[in-house]
Structure formats: C-alpha cells, structure tokens
Amino acid sequence: MNVAVQPKTLSERADELEHQMEEELERVITKSALFHLADGKVSYDSGASLQAKYPGKYMLMGDDPRLPKMPAKPTLLDYFRCRFASMNHLLQSATHALKAGLPEKTVLACLLHDIGVSGFIRADHGYWGAQMIEPYVDEEVSWAVRVHQALRFFPDDSVGYKYPDMYLRAFGPDYKPEPYILREYEAARKHKWYMTARQICVNDIYSFDPNAKVNIDDFVDIVGRNFRQPEEGLGWDSSPSAHMWRTLMRPTRYL
C-alpha cells in the first residue's frame, strides 16, 4: 500500500532544526520536564533515549554555549545583563521610585520586583522572585517583592492606586484572584511593611515608555549598598536560593 508522504508541519520542521543544532554542539542539550510542560507536553528526555539518539556524546553539565557567557563569579547585575530577558520594566519602575524620593530599600524592591517574570517564571512571580533574593537583601525588600503579587489586584485610594487597566485587558473584566492571593492581601494590609509593598505597585510602570532613558548603571551603587553579593559569585555560594541562580546560569544542565 502506498502511503502518501505528508508535508512536514511547522513544528516538525522546528524540531528537526533544533535536533540538527543539538547535533552540531559538542554536548547533548536537553529540556527539563518543566520546559516541556511549557510546550504543552507532559514529557521528559530520558537518559537512555538520549544516548541512543546521540551515540558517543556526553550530556551538557556546564555552560550552555547558546547563551551569553557569564563571568566566573557572577553578580546580580551580570544576571540582569546576561539572563534577564528584559530590564526595561524593572529599570523604569525603579527610576520612578528614585525620582519619587523613596528610600533605597524601596527602590531596590522596585528594581527587583519582577525578576521572576523577566528571568525565571511568570506563574507566582512574586513568590519566586522573593525567594531568590531573600538571603541577600533586607527582609523588608523580599517581603515586599513577595506580596506585591497580591497587592496589585487590590486598589488603595490613599496612594491613588487603581486596579490596572492593563489587567482588565489582559485577564478580562470577570477575572477574580484565587483565595490564596486574597488571603495574602488581607494579611499584608495589617503588616508593618504594607506601604513598602504598596509602593512597588504605585511605581510599577505598566505602560512601557520606549523613550524613557534608563540604565542599569544608575543602580550600581544602590545594589552595592543593599544587595549582599556573595564572594564566591551569585549561584556558587551556599545560600538557600543559590541553586535557583545556578539554574538560571545553566538552565540546560543535564543534572
């Protein structure tokens, strides 16, 4: 029986290209289960299947040659430059806070508030971002980064903060935050650092201004004074979140 050859779909061609690229690299680069989930697949690349597919090749256990090279002892700013997909939102928010004359701790919180989104994972970005910075910043900063995720859904007239129009467009008028977000908000309202987290929302720039002049270099001193850079390099230290930074440094390490 003749089976007609089907033309390859776009995704098949993309897979083929990806495999071709992998073969040209010295080491086998694999996708973690989470990356497959993000592609809508419950799947992972097993060691045996990879060895069968790439006989004689070793798995990648270090830097991914496709990504910008990071220095041996990376700093927070190296992650901004080499790993965060976008700095503009963070820089514009921090610049806004700086111009408003807010304390350095609050400016730092604004600078770091969405590192979950720009560098790690969108879902629960406030929690992830807070956990990453927790060992290196004042507790007030990481607390504020964590709860800004909940606060931004709730207005506060006392500081002129309204529910963002952008959220109406992004999530629709009927969207209701989950109960854990409501609980976080209610607890935060009574907290002594409530206003620090609220200031993140107030200074959160939802509409990107392409003409704004912002530069990470403007924040070198504030970061230097308020972020405890580990001597070994961020990711190579032994803090409770060092592994998260290492994962960001080398996201395709086999193990």
- Residue 141 beta carbon to Fe ion: minimum distance, rounded to whole angstroms: 14
- Residue 230 beta carbon to Fe ion: minimum distance, rounded to whole angstroms: 25
With contacts defined by CB under 5 A, name the span among 78-86, 96-104, 196-204, 212-220 that binds Fe ion: 196-204
- Residue 212 beta carbon to Fe ion: minimum distance, rounded to whole angstroms: 15
With contacts defined by CB under 5 A, name the span among 25-33, 60-68, 107-115, 139-147 that binds Fe ion: 107-115
Count of residues that interact with Fe ion, criterion CB under 5 A: 2
Are the C-beta atoms of residues 171 and 163 closer than 8 Å to each other?
no
114 binds Fe ion (CB under 5 A): yes
Q: What is the DSSP secondary-structure string of 182-196?
A: HHHHHHHHTSTTHHH
Q: Can you tell me the distance from the alpha carbon of 151 to that of 144, in angstroms, rounded to the nearest whole number?
A: 10
138 binds Fe ion (CB under 5 A): no
Q: Which is nearer to Fe ion, 167 or 236 (CB)?
A: 167
Write a three-state SS string for 56-123.
CCCECCCCCCCCCCCCCCCCHHHHHHHCCCCCHHHHHHHHHHHHCCCCHHHHHHHHHCCHHHHHHCCC
DSSP 249: H
Q: Which is nearer to Fe ion, 138 or 204 (CB)?
A: 204
Q: Which is nearer to Fe ion, 130 or 242 (CB)?
A: 130
Q: What distances in angstroms separate CA 1 from CA 4, 7, 77, one per listed residue?
A: 10, 19, 62
204 binds Fe ion (CB under 5 A): yes
Q: How far is Cα of residue 136 from the mean position of the Cα atoms in its chain?
A: 17
Q: Can you tell me the distance from the alpha carbon of 62 to that of 252, in angstroms, rounded to the nearest whole number?
A: 8
Q: Which is nearer to Fe ion, 76 or 90 (CB)?
A: 90
- Residue 200 beta carbon to Fe ion: minimum distance, rounded to whole angstroms: 7
Tokens representing 171 are 């999530």
- Residue 207 beta carbon to Fe ion: minimum distance, rounded to whole angstroms: 11
Segment 59 to 98, residues that bind Fe ion, using CB under 5 A: none
Give the binding site for Fe ion (CB under 5 A): 114, 204
